[in-house]
Amino acid sequence: MLLYQQHPRSLKKDIVDETSDIEYVLDGGSLLHRIPWRRSDTFAAIGQTYVEYVQRMYIKPRIVFDGFNYGPSTKDATLLRRSRGMIGLTIRFNPEIVYSARKEHFLANPNNKQAFVQYLGDGCQVLHAQGDADTFIVRNALSSAINKTSVVMGGNTDLLVLLLHHADLRSRPLLLKSRSKTKKAQANRHNVNENPSRATYLPCPPISSCHKWM
């Protein structure tokens, strides 16, 4: 496994040609929480669910995850708040193990999360940020937007503010999209290039001040 070791069977050549000028950068943390886990599945089956989802929705994106081995992060307090103080037990990860706990408990443990992310990363372009992922996601998106339309997939408000602040309005189209958890709702979309006044005057959020931009 995993991502992109096999080509999406439903993907036709003309679709690839039409979207070859688009570069996707995915917020890996948002992706982890998007896919529901079934307790009767093995980790291999859960991983395959991610593979099929990504292959169906995107063409070879870059998937950015927070760095788990780089010490304290400026978002540690945020992550702790989102986990509601949960710290799941460390599980000796094996793809063939049947998952039996709650996903939130499993992912609340950094060791478990790192093991699963590494498993997902076999065969795909997974990038690990040194600390908080938001700045690294935006860096990759801005780099892509020099030559291609760049689409960031993530529901983080900090991503929008960072993109608006650092975007080069002379670049190719730069978009931020977030998908609703409900099937009926449409994806939210922000075209950064169409917001010149906000890009000029919006300050960077505090989280980015602790990271070197280049």
pLDDT digit of tens for each residue in the chain (214 aa)? Answer: 465 444 333 333 333 334 568 999 999 999 998 899 998 999 999 999 998 898 888 988 999 998 765 555 555 555 555 555 566 789 889 999 998 888 988 998 989 999 999 898 875 678 888 877 899 999 999 999 999 999 999 877 889 899 998 988 888 999 999 865 555 445 678 888 876 544 443 444 444 443 443 3
Architecture of domain 17-210: 3-Layer(aba) Sandwich (3.40)
Domain ranges, ordered by start, for the chain: 17-210
Q: What is the DSSP string of the chain?
A: --TTSS--TT--HHHHHHHTTEEEEEEHHHHHHHS---TTSBHHHHHHHHHHHHHHH-SS-EEEE--SSS---TTHHHHHHHTTT--PPP----TTSBP-S-HHHHHHSHHHHHHHHHHHTTTS-EEE-SS-HHHHHHHHHHHHTTTSEEEEE---HHHHHHHHHH--TTSS-EEEEE--SSSSSPPEEEEGGG-HHHHHHPPPPGGGGGS---
Q: What is the pTM of this model?
A: 0.73
